[in-house]
Amino acid sequence: MPAHRTFRRLLTVPTLASALVLAACSSAPAPKSLPPAAPAAVATPMAQEAQAIMRSASASLVSGKLTLTPVQGGVRIAGIVGGLPASGRFGFHVHETGDCSAVDASSAGGHFNPTHQPHGSAKIGAHHLGDMDNIVADAEGVARIDTLLGGVLLGGGGSTDLVGRALVVHANPDDYATQPAGNAGPRVACGVIKVIR
């Protein structure tokens, strides 16, 4: 019995060593660590509520706060934007990039358009998924917004997910026709859509 054990050990040790040498000589670069385990079933979770704090852009006085909640068929966007010229109408869209850092909010990119459609009216015909109706300011320059944006999701990380996009208010009304953005003029407020819960 003891002799048999020694024999096995002698056999085992060189075998392991040659395996290591083989691995080291292999032409493919040796992985620095084990490959990550197969992604667990934790996709980006769906959100119950998100928020966009609308901050002034292009030296405007416009600001506000919008809350986004998932509803059947889309996402409800509701809240208040103030500091607008009284009784005006203003373009309002989801833009592609959640970056409002540029003074003119150009960093937010173009309209959110994962389905590659032309700009248009959210109500009729082809349009960007981020296209919405103009917002309307009252005599005090306050717009009370409560709109349903169809065909989009809140969370989940898919192409129609609004999280990490930006909401933008423009200086002029959207004509729902001019490409690529409805001729709505400068961006006067911008807010990144962030998950609250």
Is 127 a known active-site residue? no
Catalytic residue among 116, 138, 165, 187: 187
Assess 189 for contact with Cu ion (CB under 5 A).
Answer: no
Among Cu ion, Zn ion, none, the one that 89 touches (CB under a kind-dependent 5 to 8 A) is: none
Q: What is the CA radius of gyration of the chain?
A: 27
Question: Which residues are paired to 155 by β-bridges?
Answer: 46
Assess 187 for contact with Zn ion (CB under 5 A).
Answer: no
Assess 108 for contact with Cu ion (CB under 5 A).
Answer: no
**Kind and range of the H or E run holding 67:** strand 63-71
Is 5 a known active-site residue? no
Q: Give the residue from 46, 54, 100 showing the smallest Cα distance to 77.
A: 54
Among Cu ion, Zn ion, none, the one that 168 touches (CB under a kind-dependent 5 to 8 A) is: Cu ion
Specify the residue, 128 or 195, whose C-beta has the smaller distance to Zn ion: 128
Q: Give the residue from 105, 95, 59 showing the smallest Cα distance to 193.
A: 95
Assess 174 for contact with Zn ion (CB under 5 A).
Answer: no
Specify the residue, 45 or 180, whose C-beta has the smaller distance to Zn ion: 180
Q: Are 167 and 147 in contact (CB under 8 A)?
A: no
Assess 168 for contact with Cu ion (CB under 5 A).
Answer: yes
Alpha carbons 11 and 14: distance in angstroms, whole number: 6
Alpha carbons 68 and 161: distance in angstroms, whole number: 12
Assess 131 for contact with Zn ion (CB under 5 A).
Answer: yes
Catalytic residue among 89, 119, 127, 165: 119
Alpha carbons 163 and 73: distance in angstroms, whole number: 16
Assess 93 for contact with Cu ion (CB under 5 A).
Answer: yes
DSSP 8-state symbol, 70: E
Assess 111 for contact with Zn ion (CB under 5 A).
Answer: yes
- Near Zn ion in 54-93, by CB under 5 A: none
Say which residues have a Cβ less than 8 Å from residue 188's Cβ, sequence separation at least 6: 56, 57, 58, 60, 62, 84, 90, 169, 170, 171
Q: Which residues bind Cu ion (CB under 5 A)?
A: 93, 168
**Binding stretches for Zn ion (CB under 5 A):** 111, 119, 128, 131
Known catalytic residues are 93, 95, 111, 119, 128, 131, 170, 187
